[in-house]
Amino acid sequence: MRGFLDNRNALGLVFMLPAGALLLVFLTYPLGLGTWLGFTDAKIGRPGAWIGLENFEFLFGDSVARLSLFNTFFYTVVASALKFVLGLWLAMLLNKHIPFKAFIRAIVLLPFIVPTALSAIAFWWIYDSQFSVVSWALVRLGLIHQYIDFLGEPWLARLSTIAANVWRGVPFVAITLLAGLQTIAPSLYEAAALDGATEWQKFRHVTLPLLTPIIAVVMTFSVLFTFTDFQLIYVLTRGGPLNATHLMATLSFQRAIPGGALGEGAALATAMVPFLLAAILFSYFGLQRRAWQQGGTDK
């Protein structure tokens, strides 16, 4: 017994058992099953038969599915770009010497902490077509004369959902980038200042290059979560108006669970995988750590 427990391979296997078993049953197997379901005509309560690419062909010809693909890209690109710019800006503000720094940093993260479904309800109320506080303020300021129907018009709804997503994502980007900013030695800025660099040059040639590796990781996560976002859209619009805000994830839910077409929903979910892989590989190869960013020299 003692010999068995001192064997690192045997003991390693025992230690891996709980985590490994859980992940195999509830992650690896469903991942394979999901891909397989995408090639079947499974419905709720009826196991499917293999139908090849039929689901994908159907979805390709389905205007709602194509619209959801466009929406997903639009949502991901615009929201990620805004989250990056605003998050980096906020990180740089928080990196300055300001009073109550620790407290401010703590409350900045609040939007990221609270359940998205619950903060989305607050946004739903803020976007209300009749009682919106934003409309109220704008009317009082004399900027508009009619209450804005934030979630009623296709393009307005797209932008409103993006705004809510950015609101939740900026703190995450800002706080993680702040951790990166804090590792940049102040002496580098002093050296740049002595060489007569302007603020912009310091940002462009000191901050940005040294921050690139962490930006790559943070934005990969951000793109990943935005691309597969579900709850915000589900709570705010359920995909409406006129499917204008349906993302691939919400459409896949709608087709599979209330609609009962498991195969079709699974095919939609499977169709997201190549895009996700592309995003991960892009950030991994395009922005990975260079030797000089770790204090070494480029080969």
Partner 1 sequence: MSETAHDSTGMAYLDTPARRWVTVYLPLAVFLFVLLFPFYWMGMTAFKPDAELISREANPFWIHNPTFAHFDKLLFHTSYPDWMWNTIIVSVVSTFASLAASVLAGYAIERLRYKGSKQVGLAIFLAYLVPPSILFIPLATVVFQLGIFDTRWALILTYPTFLVPFCTWLLMGYFRSIPYELEECALIDGATRWQILTQIILPLSVPGLISAGIFAFTLSWNEFIYALTFVSSSEVKTVPVGVVTELVEGDVYHWGSLMAGALLGSLPVAILYSFFVEYYVSGMTGAVKE
Q: Within 16-35, which residues bind partner 1 (CB under 8 A)?
A: 16-20, 22-23, 25-27, 29-31, 33-34
Judged by CB under 8 A, which of 157, 175, 211, 223 binds partner 1? 175
Judged by CB under 8 A, which of 113, 191, 242, 291 binds partner 1? 113
| Least separation in angstroms between CB 172 and partner 1 | 7
| Least separation in angstroms between CB 46 and partner 1 | 11
Binding piece for partner 1, criterion CB under 8 A, among 57-65, 77-85, 91-99, 150-158: 91-99
- Cβ–Cβ under 8 Å, residues 195 and 271: no
Task: Please report whether residue 181 would count as binding partner 1 according to CB under 8 A.
Answer: no
| Least separation in angstroms between CB 75 and partner 1 | 13
The C-alpha angle 283, 285, 286, rounded to 5 degrees, equals 65
Binding piece for partner 1, criterion CB under 8 A, among 57-65, 76-84, 229-237, 290-298: 229-237
Residue 82 CA to residue 86 CA, distance in Å, equals 6
| Alpha-carbon distance values, 154 to 33, 159, 244, 274 (Å) | 35, 9, 5, 27
Residue 95 CA to residue 184 CA, distance in Å, equals 11
- Token pair of 31 as six digits: 């991942």
Judged by CB under 8 A, which of 40, 176, 254, 283 binds partner 1? 176
Applying the rule CB under 8 A, the residues between 270 and 299 that interact with partner 1 are 270, 272-273, 276, 280
Residues 50-89, one symbol each (x = binds partner 1 by CB under 8 A, - = not), give ------------------------------------x--x
Nearer to partner 1, 23 or 291 (CB): 23
| Least separation in angstroms between CB 244 and partner 1 | 19
| Alpha-carbon distance values, 121 to 111, 185, 228 (Å) | 13, 42, 19
Residue 264 CA to residue 244 CA, distance in Å, equals 20
Binding piece for partner 1, criterion CB under 8 A, among 53-61, 62-70, 153-161, 269-277: 269-277
Cα torsion 18, 21, 26, 28: sign = positive
How is residue 241 annotated by DSSP?
A: S
| Least separation in angstroms between CB 45 and partner 1 | 9
Task: Please report whether residue 37 would count as binding partner 1 according to CB under 8 A.
Answer: yes
- Token pair of 182 as six digits: 């804090």
46 strand-pairing partners: 43
Judged by CB under 8 A, which of 161, 172, 211, 239 binds partner 1? 172
Q: Which residues contact 57 (CB under 8 A, 6 or more apart)?
A: none
Applying the rule CB under 8 A, the residues between 195 and 214 that interact with partner 1 are 214
| Least separation in angstroms between CB 152 and partner 1 | 17
- Scan for tokens 């690419």, then name that residue: 53
| Alpha-carbon distance values, 49 to 52, 58, 201, 243, 269 (Å) | 9, 16, 61, 30, 18
Judged by CB under 8 A, which of 133, 208, 242, 278 binds partner 1? 133
